[in-house]
Structure 1
Amino acid sequence: MGYIVGEDRAQASFLPARLEDYVAADAAVRVIDAFADGLDLSVLGFGRSVPAATGRPGYDPRDLLRLYVWGYFNEVRSSRRLERACCRDVEAMWLMRRLAPDFKTIADFRRDNGAAIVGACRAFVLLCRDAGLFSARLVALDGSKFRAAASARKVVGRGEIAKEAACLDAQIAVYLAGLDKADAAEPGDAPEAVETALAALRTRRSELDRLAARLDDEGRATLVDGEEDARPMGLGHGPKPPSYNVQTAVDTDTGLIVHHDVTDEPTDRRQLYPMASATKQNLGLDAMTVVADKGFDNGEHASACERDGIVACVPSQRSVNNQGDGMLFDRTAFIYKPETDTLVCPAGRTLVRKQLHRKKRNVTYISPDCSGCTLKARCTAAERRLVKRHLDDDALNRMAARATPEMMRARRCAVEHPFGTIKRMMAGGRFLTRGLDGTRTEMALSVLAYNILRAIHIAKPAAL
């Protein structure tokens, strides 16, 4: 018995004459095509959204947007791979109508239309909201680290900068000494290669001075050479690679990402109110409930959320009294009296205000006299008891009380899946572009591709 034999490549056949017949009626690529058709590119700010009256015709930005969204949807992000896909992938040929732009044109489109691509991602969220796919009754916030394009070897500190600067100074001195000898032998006849090398060394030396000045200005210990927006961040005991902190706000009912951002913040502590406020504004909501993990715990942001009609549910990440093996009274045992701005201890004595720490946003209260107190052994080993109270203590307590186990379970079930899917689409979660502008553009394409995939699972492609 033989094998299954394919057709002869030289044999003429009656294959479908139209590209339309190669793409199924319910294919996801048709959703991408319909979405791009419905966008007003000039309002979003895409370049060349109106063709020029003269000159050589260019590519329609709508076609290049289609190609990028399709590429990120199918884990094809490189401009060179997208160029090849236009000539060998049936879906890409259908989507582009056999257009095959070169990789430089494709890459330039992503570089020059970053803000417009972010706007297109937001437009799809509003489209899903208007179609009734989600109500955003509860939004879950989370952050995750995505690797930058720069290598971990590009992380430099003051020591590395000083060491390389000393080596460059020595090389420059050698070249200058060689030029002096050449001038003495043949005045005005310096080798061109030496001049070029010397100019490159001086350029690099100036770059090191700029990096050192930025370290001093920003008070940082390290910088990423070649991608200064990235920061070493992440978990573990080894060296932290250059990364960005990607923030998402996910609708817990549907798993759709309703807002996202890319930041250079190593932690999530300053992201609660900016993310919640931007989500509320983008969706046009009067009130909204958000839930996040304890990494978002921030008293100032808790108060800002309450003022803005945002109900935040975040568990507390505050220190406890560990003096006396943790057996002494914690600050929660002291009752605050707002009318007198004092604290009352468990023994009924009053602690008065001593000092305001504006940077840490807390107030220190002290007991005028603890002598003779029957509970002093359970309160402090010092002469008098000190207690620090956060300026937003009431807002923090209310926010922590709302972070029930049910809320935290809903958060965990909502936010982990989108990050896992996007990191799979992005080859494990590493950017191809550099800088905040480039990574925000790339993340917008990834979020748009994820939301389209998720919307297809919620509703049928034909409905979309």
Structure 2
Amino acid sequence: MQKFKPVITDQLFLLPPSIEDFIPQGHLARVVNDIVETIDVSAIEKKYSLLGQKSYHPHLLLKLLFYGYSTGVRSGRKIAMACQQDTAYMYLACMYRPDFRTINDFRKDNLSFVHDCFSHIVQICKQLGMAKAGSLILDGTKLRANASGSQSKNKEQYEQWLEKVENDITDMLSEAERNDEAEDKLYGNDRGDELPKELHSKQRLKEKIKAALEKIKDDKQRINLTDNDAKYIMGKTGIDTNYNCQAAITEDGIIVGAYTSNNPSDRSETIRSIEVAEQTSKEKYDTIIADSGYASYGHFETLHNCNKNIYMPDQAMLTEKEDEQKNPYHRNNFIYDSTKNIFKCPEQQELTYKRTSNDNKRKQFVDVYECKECPACDKRSLCTKGKYRNLNVEKREWLRKEIREQLQSIKGQIIYKKRMLIESVFGVLKHNLKYLDLNLRGIEKTTAEWQLICIGYNIKRIHKLKLS
């Protein structure tokens, strides 16, 4: 009697199987298939002609891309190869085998459609009871641009480079003239008047340098020659040519806002990130949670006027808390009396309003309060180095204090801990799926690529919900 089951690689099926038979009911590919079938692709269909060979349906190519981004595969070549080897891709491709160029060209030609797909999938999440209105959590992560940091230069460096390239072109033209007698050897069977490939390359480089110089607005500004939108931005691994990839998520981990920016600081993206999320999800969020990198007086005021609950510590909150505990005469230990518009110092002396001045360092107007009793106070040396103790109070200081008190409450601490939810999102994308860089160039294209990555993540969240 045989011990093992027979191994027959050329065994035929009695009845032809369906590719569906090889895909389990709870498989991610089935979720991708169901989601993409609900997307209206009529705008893409209009681009195709009835003439010539029949094209692959946009739904089919979208399924391949979305499944690829859900599993960390974004290479057109790898997706094309998987259509021949991986049953999940075979199922989504209906056993067709699209060429990698077809996949890449479809992605390149329809980047503007990606945002519509992203918004549509967010709406599907809402229909499934996910992406609920309430809290919106903001954060950004840095992904490497598809451009070398050595190509980022300022105006002076570009001018020096341009001068060198122009000298190289002049030398190459002079050498070509001197070698006229050897043109048969140099040019073979060609006419003999074609420019060398090296000269073509130099001339293209010259044009690119000139174009970069035109975009430089001041002498210190640096522009990358390969990707003019990419900027030197500090990331966790150091400074590099990066994009600042912004994301806004709901409490259940659905990404409802996604775009790329070349601003090094998150602070300039606070309001835009909220607006993008609300436009995409068609929801209004009453609670905004973010780290101190998003905080500013201006943002506090804007969000307060929009009736948002703000859980966003200001930059100085942690350091000032330590200082006020160590120093009894720290400005935060001065108590404000709104009925009299005065401050009281720890020695119970009054600081009265003196004037409003422009703080050039902070670029904002401040109210100046001054204590006239300092010369007679025996604690003066501990409190101030000047004759009188002054307090410069920003006009929106009350709002910052209100937010601090809210954050320091037990309820506020519980709510602010939700900020860590977005770190797990970035952990999945960067650590598990290995999205550490961007392949496309330019703000518009990298935004589409980042949204494709986020589409993949949201589809995985839908899949997880269906399994549970």
AA aligned to 1:437 is E
Retained in 1: the 8 A contact 2:148–2:226?
no
**Aligned residue for 1:301?**
299
* Compared CA separation, residues 458 and 169, structure 1 to 2 (3 A): same
Q: Deviations over 1:236-275 (max 9, x none)?
A: 6x751211111222222x2222222221121211222222
Offset of residue 289 of structure 1: 0.7
Q: How far apart are residue 407 of structure 1 and its match?
A: 2.1
Q: Partner residue of 1:242?
A: 241
Structure 1 residues 281 and 203: alpha-carbon distance in aligned structure 2, compared to 1, 3 A threshold: closer
Kindly indicate whether the alpha-carbon contact (under 8 Å) linking 2:253 and 2:422 is maintained by their aligned counterparts in 1: yes
1:457 maps to which residue? 464
Does the aligned pair in 1 maintain the 2:336–2:344 contact within 8 Å?
Answer: no
Structure 2: which amino acid aligns with 1:382?
A: G
Q: Match of 1:355, as an amino acid? A: S
What is the Cα deviation at residue 79 of structure 1?
1.0
For 2:354, the equivalent position in structure 1 comes to 352
Q: 1:6 to 1:288 in 2, by over 3 A?
A: farther
Corresponding residue number in structure 2 for 1:379: 383
In structure 2, how many angstroms separate the alpha carbons of the residues matched to 1:265 and 1:426?
A: 25
- Distance in 2 (alpha carbons) for counterparts of 1:158 and 1:328: 50
Unaligned runs of 5+ in 1: none
Residue 121 of structure 1: aligned partner: 118
SS in 1 for 2:259: strand
1:336–1:205: structure 2 CA closer, same or farther, 3 Å change rule?
farther
Mapped to 1, the partners of 2:17 and 2:365 lie a distance apart of 74
Q: 2:368 aligned to 362, 365, 370, which one?
A: 365
> Share of identical aligned residues, percent?
22
What letter is aligned with 2:436? G
What's the counterpart of residue 414 of structure 2? Answer: 406
Cα separation, partners in 2 of 1:52 and 1:199, compared to 1, 3 Å: closer
The verdict on how the C-alpha distance between 1:439 and 1:368 changes in structure 2, with shifts beyond 3 A counting, is same
Identify which of 52, 59, 64 aligns with 2:61: 64
Cα drift, residue 78 of structure 1: 0.5
Q: Which residue of 1 aligns with 2:311?
A: 313
User: Are the structure 2 counterparts of residues 335 and 172 from structure 1 closer, same or farther at C-alpha, using a change threshold of 3 Å?
Assistant: farther
Alignment-mate amino acid for residue 175 of structure 2: G
Match of 1:203 in 2: 204
2:398 aligns with 394
Structure 2 counterpart of 1:80, one-letter code = R
Change (3 A) 1:366 1:199: farther
Distance 1:15 1:382 in 2: 96
**8 A Cα contact 1:364 1:386, kept in partner:** no
Taking the aligned partners of 1:177 and 1:388, their CA distance within structure 2 comes to 68
Is 2:133–2:285's contact at 8 Å kept on the other side of the alignment?
Answer: no
* Aligned partners of 1:110 and 1:441 also within 8 Å: no
Per the TM alignment, residue 101 of structure 1 is displaced from its structure 2 partner at its CA by: 2.1
Q: 1:384/1:104 Cα in 2 relative to 1: closer, same or farther (>3 Å)?
A: farther
Q: Between 108-117 and 424-433, report the one with greater CA deviation.
A: 424-433
Cα 1:321–1:97 shift into 2, 3 Å: closer
CA distance in 2, matches of 1:338, 1:158: 53
Unaligned runs of 5+ in 2: none
1:138 to 2:146 alignment = no
Q: Secondary structure at the match of 1:269?
A: helix
Residues 156-193 of structure 1: CA deviation (Å, up to 9, x unaligned): 3446434433432332332344356568999xx99646
Q: TM-score, normalised by structure 1?
A: 0.84
Structure 1 residue 335: deviation in Å?
5.7
What is the identity, as a one-letter code, of the residue corresponding to 1:363?
V
Equivalent pairs counted in the alignment come to 451
Measure, in 2, the Cα distance between the counterparts of 1:322 and 1:417.
29
SS of 1:433's equivalent in the other structure is: coil
Hey, what's the Cα distance between the residues in 2 that align with 1:322 and 1:139?
29
Within 1, Cα distance between the matches of 2:193 and 2:373? 82
Q: Write out aligned runs for 1:220-369 (5 A).
A: 220-235=220-235, 240-252=239-251, 254-318=252-316, 327=327, 329-334=329-334, 344=343, 346=345, 347-357=349-359, 360-363=363-366, 365=368, 367=370
Aligned CA distance change for structure 1 residues 446 and 218 (closer, same or farther; 3 Å): farther
Query: Are 1:366 and 1:384, in contact at CA under 8 Å, matched by a contact in 2?
Result: no
Q: Distance in 1 between matches of 2:280 and 2:235?
A: 32
Q: Does 1:101 align with 2:102?
A: no
Shift of the alpha carbon at 1:120?
A: 0.9
* 1:59 to 1:332, Cα distance in 2 relative to 1, 3 A: same
Secondary structure of the structure 2 residue equivalent to 1:226 = coil
Structure 1's 197 and 151: CA in aligned 2 closer, same or farther, altered over 3 A?
closer
Q: TM-score, normalised by structure 2?
A: 0.83
* Cα 1:330–1:169 shift into 2, 3 Å: farther
Cα distance in 1 for residues equivalent to 2:11 and 2:79: 30
**How many Å separate the matches in 2 of 1:351 and 1:18?**
82
Partner in structure 1 of residue 172 of structure 2 = 175
Q: Deviations over 1:373-397 (max 9, x none)?
A: 5254233213454543334323322
Q: Which amino acid in structure 1 is aligned with residue 213 of structure 2? A: A
